[in-house]
Structure 1
Amino acid sequence: MIEDYLKNYRILGIRPGTSWKQLRQAYKKMVNAWHPDRFQQDARQKKLAEEKTKEITQSYKELAEYYKKFGVLPLPAEEAAASVTDKRTAHVAESPAAPEVEIPQPASAESATGVSSPRISKRRARVIVALALLGSVYLLSQIAPWEHQDNAPLNEQYVDQTLNTGRDDENVDAAPVAQHFTIGSSLGEVYAIQGVPTRTEQDVWYYGDSKVYFAKGKVLRWDERHGSPLRVSIVPLAGETNTSFFGRGSTKEEVLAAQGIPDRDAGSVWDYGLSRVYFEKDRVTYWYESQLDPLRTRR
């Protein structure tokens, strides 16, 4: 089990003893770097990216499940170092013992008479133990394989640019992953909530027979089929108010902010009671308004 967690940390490019916040940051960066759509021009690299994405997501899920169950991540730094010491430094036992270091001591009545001092022996033992610990730490720093070079993407220059130009993750909330995604959710949020897609085609992700459509890296809409459920929820985007209006050309986000959640979502048609809003390419084209269920449209 220890080996499994060590492998998960190496796949995500982090060390044991890291915080939950740092783990989430590393996962998001790795997912964005290995997204299959970044390798559309090379089928071999795209296939490799799909496999790496599955591996990264699986490692994150195993660590996240442990965190959810115990409130901490597995393998604190000390425990991981001890595990590495057991496996990688067996030859240290065969090495010559560290020489004892003589520490000059002030002359005393006991030393003058030739009687050994217990205090001097204890100090000498502490010095020997300290030197042995320093030697072990140095040895671990030379042989511990924390840097996992195999995780570097094929196009290293492109990936470095992607990670360096990404948003600042210092303020990322360390709260548990959301349970549902919605219109406007990012690629990483869909990965974390729905998991690895069955396949991808440009801006469309397939989960069985269901589809999720993206535009500029954000969820635009979805097509959910029976037997392939999606973890979705139609909610207005954070920060929007319900006091605005919508009209021809308004986006679905704007309709959600103005009118709220529809009673029924048929993709290109949203029903609000007896009233109905029609969309084409996720933009309002026209609507039917019943006096019993008025719409917040521009007059």
Structure 2
Amino acid sequence: MKKWGFFVIIILLLLGLKAMNITPTVQQTHKDIAKEDHDIQRGTLTSAQTINITQDQVYQGNLLLVNKEYPVHQDSVQSDVVNLFEHKELLQGYGLLDTHIQLSERVAQKFLKMIEAAEKDGIQHFLISSGYRDFEEQRSLYQEKGSDYALPAGYSEHNLGLSLDIGSTQMEMSKAPEGEWLQKNAWRYGFILRYPKDKTAITGIQYEPWHFRYVGLPHSAIMKENNLVLEQYLDFLKEHKSTSTVVNGTTYDVMYHPISHNMTLEIPVHHHYETSGNNIDGVIVTVSK
């Protein structure tokens, strides 16, 4: 009789929880994200917003892969490139090698925040030696310096406006405190060391301790955590379709979509999202919440 009484109590508790609409909290796994992404595309999530994805977006964004196989498209160049010397509000805490250096204004603002953080750690001798180069400037550099120093026009990340060469006014970057600080902390501000010493076989470029590329969060965090260069990260996304991470208390869901034609996607409503092509065959949608 006592056992029956115990079961009755359990049943009443379960009915009460259901009536109160209480559901258990479940930590989302990698497979859960993939299922959610699939449900979103099918329109089975009740609260969703529709976004349009065009084929042109394959060649736009922060995650474009540029190398000897995948050149820069004209649409890939950042639209907000500015001369840093002419924008004094962006030129604080670091020097310029010359007065003609250009960079995406948005990336320059991120760089400025990073430099301010480094200064708080006592690291303050930064110098930008190169930023954005248009195709004509890249062509002239290649003709003057050759393939040992430069890449042909359209095949350099500098043609995007997302990359910059950072040096130290004190010593060469491979030995400078500035280089050491950036290798440890640049990911926090969306930057990656694009050509590390241990990844030359993958990137096809010799070690460049000065060359940093903006990819944005959470991508820089995922790449840092897993010791991935951009080539590897894009392959990872293409293979797994989706991944999730938490950075500074914000949850990010990152989803890869192959693009062969214009299409629409649905994402949870009231969530911030960003899109970027990979410059190959797809678009990465990043949803933060």
Place the TM-score, normalised by the shorter chain, in its bin.
under 0.3
Question: Which structure has more RCO (C-alpha within 8 Å, separation ≥ 6)?
Answer: 2
Tell me which protein shows more helix as a share of its residues: 1
Tell me which protein shows more strand as a share of its residues: 2
Looking at CA atoms only, which structure, 1 or 2, has the larger radius of gyration? 1
User: Normalising by structure 1, what TM-score?
Assistant: 0.22
